[in-house]
Structure 1
Amino acid sequence: MTRIKLSGAGVLAIAGMLAVPQLRAQEHSAQEPPFLAPANYRTWSIGINGGVLNQWNIVGLNRDGFDKVRHNVGYSAYIKRQISPSFGLKAQYLGGKVGGIDESAVSATPGNIREFETKTPWSAALSAEFTLANINWQFANSVIKPYIAIGAGALNFKTTTIDAEGNAATAEKQTKLYIPADFGFKFAVANGVNIDLGYQLNWANQDFDGKPGGQYKNDLFSYTHAGVEFALGSPSKPYLGNSNPVASLKKAYIEQYDELVAQKAELEARKAENEKLRSQMERLYGDLADEDHDGVANLYDKCPGTPSNTKVDGAGCPLPEQKAPVIQQITVTEEDRKVVDEAIQNLEFDLGKATIRSTSHASLNKVAALLIEKNFSLKLAGHTDNTGSMQTNMRLSKERAEAVKAYLVSKGANPSRIEATGYGPTQPIANNDTAEGRQQNRRVEFTLY
């Protein structure tokens, strides 16, 4: 049998020392806006790791007398779907072998098992993984992430036993239910790359160590491991498992607060400078002082003592009160809305372009006639799905809205009453994960007012 004389704590310590230099060199000041939609994150990841399998476990139970532990190489891989920054589901494979020796077994007891070795060609388990917290909430992208996981799956194993008299026996392969439970730490060393240091405790069937009639109903074995996790998808997107929306929100508020404080300080400085200049002017020019602060110097003020905030003419006298202009009420009827709805339904562009197809002209002509006849204002809002880059989608949505405006103006509509804006994929009305949803999101909205 292969023997590796390393304890579980030793593996964690060595892997931790390897990870520390990379952590110090890695810059984690990158911030993403808080509460982005899931489509703006990478949510899938894969992980591979290796470590030590043995009968030792941190709870110190279920050894069935095999107290002399043998350390063997174990290996594992998983794929994970991150549902939120703190929760994900992973499908895991685990393989290797576990062995132990019962030094109390003596030849005077026939059939007493002295040694066992169990090979696990494969196992498959589905686990729920919980990321407990970011060690430092100052980081919007977590550097150190404690986690726990628990799941259930199928364990395929074959056990070979040696009794106290040296006789070996190999049981048939079995596939039984087992329960894996993990805890550990993940260290973010690059964008979407984590070092994974962990400990996994596995509850297996009591046949696992070859003592089906042992003291315990289940056998326990452990897997101390170190590995790497890689996020899948575009590197331009942050990995959801490393995201810390609380810290991102905090930073956004701090930046806004600092900006407001700076603006207030600048405003106060300007006010102080203005008052300083005013005092200098009053001292230097005397008659040019403005005691009632109406903007007209005393020398030229024919109406001194004007109350504060009174609007005055060039001679310092109050202006006659102006009546508020009469605003014409504009009413959009149901028929008007039907004309606009028809134009929206019939609006088509060439694929990937801002060229309006001729089939859309008739309904757009009706909208132009409506704008001319009733002097309405119109807001055009261009939208796209999330396919392609953000820059391309923002440009295309703006160009399509501008194309509709240009067509309406060419038919006589007043350009000053038409506003064209592009929002790209930022305001979806349907799920971008389906073709139907993406079709609904590719649109130009018309708003009459």
Structure 2
Amino acid sequence: MRKHSIFHVAIVLILFIPLLSKAQTGIFTDGPGYRRWSVGINGGMLAPVAVTGGNNDFTKWKASAGYGAYIKWQLLHALGFRADYVSGKLTGNNDRKLGNGSVPDREINSFDTRLKYAASLSAVVNVATINWLYRHNFVQAYLSAGGGITGYSPRITNKSGVTTDYKPGANNLKEFFIPVGAGLKFKLSPVVNIDLGYTMYYVDGDQLDGYNYGTNNDKYSYGYAGLEISLGSSNKFQLAWQNPAKVMYDDMVEQKARLKQELETVNANNVRLSADVDKLLRDTDGDGVSDYFDRCPNTAAGEKVDGSGCDLPKDTTPRQLITKITNNITEDDRRLVHEAIENLEFEFGKAAIKPTSFPSLNGVAKLLITKGFSLKLGGHTDNVGSAERNMIVSKNRAESVKQYLVTQGANPSRIEAVGYGADQPIADNKTDAGRQKNRRVEFTLY
């Protein structure tokens, strides 16, 4: 084999290597959502001439009928592999005059070559998809190149009119060739395409026309028209006609719809949360207790209320002027108050005192009654929520403690309830433990 033949074989191997490597991973299967396999048949004209490369060894060529078929596998939208078969006849003669006006005086006057087969494998590249901006493809332009083997038998006619075989035993000559082609494909339906193409065959030898004149190798071409039929499920689209612009557009529309739905969900949640917040903060009677927690929603303006929004009991005890406290505050007194602070708990998010806190508060009430002490209650919260809300909660909880002590007999005039909100933390509000410590009611005995 000649050196350039080896080069041609190398090209074919390079084309085969990616396909063979993919075969190891099972790529010869129908891809998700697309049809990859198709078959085609075509018919046209064969001629011993190429657009690039000129004529063969005779001055005049003739077009003869040819036919072909192929099977194609589409790897990507723009890349596929096609195995072609072409057969027919090639003819030519020396009837055309030379440039100086003379008729060629050659030993061989014409040839007639039977092209038994031309089998090739080519890579097919879609270089353009017409009307893609409108997302509806109906015309494709493509280029192809590859390598193959052709089998043929030439017959020659000398200038005396005698026709013989090219040479004894030349009925089954074989040559390597490189096919280079271009074409247009029209989409008739989701299954059928019209295929118009032109392929040039560069043969690695100079025996195709039965005559060796000059230094150029032989070449021929095939112009054809045919039908291509896509194989596979009718529910899937042809991968070769997949429109990247349409896919991107559809993805964008889908993402837009999804984002719109998410935004509508967020807006609905915001509306619901706003309604819940309004319900928690609304205070129709202006007593400092929101309607949501207010058990007495119609208290008179300016009346003092407890943590549940109800009027505090009126102090009907005759006023006594105490000029001197006869008993000093002892360590036992301080311990009793400290235990009350430690044991004081409220219902979650409310000013209602838990029953477990009652025994300790009963001790404080008894202390106030028996020793005549005064008590300042300071309500505090963590920094979660608005400052206004925290101030209300802290005041309500301090008032709840005062109300309970009064119900146990303590003098309300000697108990002061104040709310400080989140303004006086004793621990770090960044931690759960810190926030727990900051949610408190301080007792100051004096």
Deviations 1:57-89 (A, max 9, x none): 2225243342x3311111110111222222222
> Aligned partners of 1:44 and 1:162: how far apart in 2?
45
Match for 1:168 among 163, 168, 193? 163
Contact 1:90 1:127 in 2 (8 A): yes
Change (3 A) 1:250 1:320: farther
Q: Where does residue 17 of structure 2 map in the other structure?
A: none
Q: Does 1:182 align with 2:181?
A: yes
Q: Where does residue 303 of structure 1 map in the other structure?
A: 288
Change (3 A) 1:64 1:37: closer
Q: Which amino acid aligns with 1:47?
A: G
> Aligned partners of 2:287 and 2:188: how far apart in 1?
76
Q: Where does residue 208 of structure 2 map in the other structure?
A: 208
> Aligned partners of 1:107 and 1:146: how far apart in 2?
42
Q: Does 1:313 align with 2:270?
A: no
Q: Where does residue 145 of structure 1 map in the other structure?
A: 140
Structure 1 SS opposite 2:52? coil
Q: Where does residue 229 of structure 2 map in the other structure?
A: 230
Deviations 1:21-66 (A, max 9, x none): xxxxxxxxxxxxxxx9824432211110111111342225243342
Structure 2 SS opposite 1:250? helix
Structure 2 SS opposite 1:46? strand
Structural RMSD (CA): 3.9
Change (3 A) 1:245 1:314: farther
Q: Where does residue 117 of structure 2 map in the other structure?
A: 122
Q: Does 1:109 align with 2:105?
A: yes
Q: CA deviation at 1:246?
A: 4.8
Change (3 A) 1:181 1:107: closer
Contact 2:71 2:83 in 1 (8 A): yes
Q: Which amino acid aligns with 1:183?
A: A
Deviations 1:293-315 (A, max 9, x none): 556666434339x9xxxx96358
> Aligned partners of 1:213 and 1:150: how far apart in 2?
27
> Aligned partners of 1:155 and 1:243: how far apart in 2?
34
Structure 2 SS opposite 1:85? coil
Q: Where does residue 417 of structure 1 map in the other structure?
A: none
Q: Which amino acid aligns with 2:195?
A: D
Match for 2:74 among 78, 82, 86? 82
Q: Does 1:239 align with 2:238?
A: yes
> Aligned partners of 2:79 and 2:133: how far apart in 1?
20
> Aligned partners of 2:71 and 2:209: how far apart in 1?
29
Q: CA deviation at 1:230?
A: 0.8
Q: Where does residue 3 of structure 1 map in the other structure?
A: none
Match for 1:41 among 34, 46, 51? 34
- Structure 2: gaps of 5 or more residues: 1-28, 298-306, 309-345, 351-446
Contact 1:45 1:232 in 2 (8 A): yes
Contact 2:55 2:61 in 1 (8 A): no
Q: CA deviation at 1:242?
A: 2.0
Q: CA deviation at 1:162?
A: 2.6
> Aligned partners of 1:61 and 1:108: how far apart in 2?
17
Q: CA deviation at 1:262?
A: 8.3
Q: Where does residue 94 of structure 1 map in the other structure?
A: 86
Q: Which amino acid aligns with 1:207?
A: Q
> Aligned partners of 2:93 and 2:118: how far apart in 1?
24
Q: Number of residue pairs matched?
A: 264
Change (3 A) 1:75 1:301: farther
> Aligned partners of 1:195 and 1:131: how far apart in 2?
15
Contact 2:180 2:199 in 1 (8 A): yes
Q: CA deviation at 1:245?
A: 4.3
Change (3 A) 1:160 1:107: farther
> Aligned partners of 1:129 and 1:110: how far apart in 2?
41
Contact 1:107 1:164 in 2 (8 A): no
Q: CA deviation at 1:264?
A: 6.0
Match for 1:72 among 36, 55, 64? 64
TM-score by length of 1: 0.50
Contact 1:110 1:165 in 2 (8 A): no
> Aligned partners of 2:30 and 2:174: how far apart in 1?
41
- Structure 1: gaps of 5 or more residues: 1-35, 279-291, 324-449
Q: Which amino acid aligns with 1:44?
A: W
> Aligned partners of 1:322 and 1:108: how far apart in 2?
112
Change (3 A) 1:72 1:300: farther
Q: Which amino acid aligns with 2:253?
A: I
Change (3 A) 1:75 1:234: same
> Aligned partners of 1:207 and 1:159: how far apart in 2?
8
Q: Does 1:50 align with 2:34?
A: no
Q: Which amino acid aligns with 2:34?
A: Y
Structure 1 SS opposite 2:54? coil
> Aligned partners of 2:54 and 2:347: how far apart in 1?
95
Contact 2:73 2:82 in 1 (8 A): yes
> Aligned partners of 2:137 and 2:31: how far apart in 1?
17
Q: Where does residue 367 of structure 1 map in the other structure?
A: none
Contact 1:107 1:165 in 2 (8 A): no
> Aligned partners of 1:248 and 1:62: how far apart in 2?
46
Q: Which amino acid aligns with 1:154?
A: I
Structure 2 SS opposite 1:179? strand
Structure 2 SS opposite 1:47? strand
Q: CA deviation at 1:203?
A: 0.8
Between structure 1 and structure 2, the one with the greater Rg is 2
Q: Which amino acid aligns with 2:64?
A: N
Deviations 1:383-431 (A, max 9, x none): xxxxxxxxxxxxxxxxxxxxxxxxxxxxxxxxxxxxxxxxxxxxxxxxx
Contact 1:197 1:225 in 2 (8 A): yes
Q: Percent identity?
A: 29
> Aligned partners of 1:136 and 1:110: how far apart in 2?
53
> Aligned partners of 1:115 and 1:210: how far apart in 2?
9
Contact 1:192 1:242 in 2 (8 A): no
Structure 2 SS opposite 1:166? coil
Q: Which amino acid aligns with 2:209?
A: D
Q: Where does residue 54 of structure 2 map in the other structure?
A: 61
> Aligned partners of 1:241 and 1:196: how far apart in 2?
13
Q: Which amino acid aligns with 2:80?
A: G
Q: CA deviation at 1:92?
A: 1.0
> Aligned partners of 1:314 and 1:223: how far apart in 2?
94
